[in-house]
Chains A and B, each alone.
Chain A
Amino acid sequence: MAERLVFFLCALIAISTAVGVVASRNPVRSALLLVLNFLTLAVLYFTLTAQFVGIIQVIVYAGAIMVLFLFVIMLLNLGSPEAQLPERELRRPVAWLLAIGLFIVLVSQVFLVVGAQPQPLVEAGTARTIGYAMFTRWSFPLLIVAVLLTVGVIGSILLARRRSA
């Protein structure tokens, strides 16, 4: 019963904060609601026996990535009232219709998955097992992600650099 209660509460907060991110006019408010959304998703990851991924979610997403977002919002002064952009009124109903259609298509596939039994293995979510798998079986994808991150950091520095010449 407790698991269902935790799931229900987290799902409620996650859905309302996700709607708030899209509905809010102020980007700073969107960013803070998104932090709350990431934290509730981290709690859901804990209930799925993914402790390590949940902690990484809090550190990397709710910590590093959202600080980057807020930093750029403050840097470009987009949180001020005169910087608020109006919505595209014309495309709004079409966008919601497309989103509802996407949701219906996805949920129609969800109920094809029946009879799956949860197999909670506590050791599956620990840093020890994940680290061992990452550096043995998945070492080549890990190298590719490392190269991608390096290229991304260098590329963003080059893009945001002020032209001196």
Chain B
Amino acid sequence: MTAVPLSAYLTLAAFLFAIGAAGVLIKRNPIVIFMCIELMLNAVNLTFLSFAMHQPSLQAQVAGHVFVLFVIGVAAAEVAVGLGIIVAIFRLRETIDVDSVNLLRE
């Protein structure tokens, strides 16, 4: 049994999380920023599931899976509200460049 070690999964998840964070800082298109946030949420889900498989009891493993499902649910709600905000901003300003949306700063 040459199973994949836990640290391999965690390193992959850390890399995906870092790439997502870099995308949030670099991109100017809010839709792509949302995609990068989804990338980060998925990296966290991967750590949850990889830690869950290394728990000794069945109850602890299932708790990890349930938490991942909650994260997916919250992500769906967040995407719905975020895309609604983007559509509203586009109606108002005809652009969605995050650098030009500074209404609250003026």
Q: Which residues of A contact B73 (CB under 8 A)?
A: 145, 148-149
B32: which of A11, A30, A50, A119 is its contact (CB, 8 Å)? A30
User: How many residues of chain B have a CB within 8 Å of chain A?
Assistant: 73
Q: How many Å lie between the Cα of A31 and that of B62 in the bound state? A: 31
Q: How many Å lie between the Cα of A88 and that of B24 in the bound state? A: 12
A133: which of B39, B66, B78 is its contact (CB, 8 Å)? B66
Q: How many Å lie between the Cα of A56 and that of B45 in the bound state? A: 12
Interface residues of B in 1-22 (CB under 8 A from A): 2-4, 6-12, 14-22
User: Counting CB contacts under 8 A, is A165 at the interface?
Assistant: no
Q: B16 and A18: CB pair below 8 A?
A: yes
Identity of the chain B residue whose Cβ is nearest the Cβ of A92 in the assembled complex: B26
Q: A76 and B96: CB pair below 8 A?
A: yes
Q: A78 and B31: CB pair below 8 A?
A: yes
A113: which of B6, B17, B25, B70 is its contact (CB, 8 Å)? B6
Interface residues of B in 38-91 (CB under 8 A from A): 38-39, 42, 45-46, 49-50, 52-56, 58-59, 61-63, 65-66, 68-70, 72-81, 83-88, 90-91
Q: How many Å lie between the Cα of A45 and that of B21 in the bound state? A: 22
Q: Which residues of A contact B76 (CB under 8 A)?
A: 60, 64-65, 149, 152
Q: How many Å lie between the Cα of A66 and that of B38 in the bound state? A: 10
Q: A99 and B31: CB pair below 8 A?
A: no
A-B contact count (CB 8 A): 240
Chain A: interface size category: 35 or more
Q: A162 and B35: CB pair below 8 A?
A: no
Central interface residue in B22, B39, B90, by most chain A CB within 10 Å: B22
Q: A116 and B31: CB pair below 8 A?
A: no
User: Counting CB contacts under 8 A, is A129 at the interface?
Assistant: yes
Q: A73-B31, A78-B31 are in contact. Are A159 and B68 (CB under 8 A)?
A: no
Q: Which residues of A contact B84 (CB under 8 A)?
A: 155-160
Q: A99 and B66: CB pair below 8 A?
A: no
Binding site for A on B (CB under 8 A): 2-4, 6-12, 14-23, 25-29, 31-32, 34-36, 38-39, 42, 45-46, 49-50, 52-56, 58-59, 61-63, 65-66, 68-70, 72-81, 83-88, 90-91, 96-97, 99
Please name 24 pairs of A and B residues whose Cβ atoms are closer than 8 Å in the assembled complex, sorted by A.
A4-B4, A7-B4, A7-B8, A18-B20, A19-B19, A21-B23, A22-B36, A37-B42, A41-B46, A47-B4, A53-B49, A53-B68, A69-B34, A72-B86, A102-B21, A118-B54, A119-B56, A130-B65, A133-B65, A137-B63, A145-B73, A151-B77, A153-B80, A159-B84
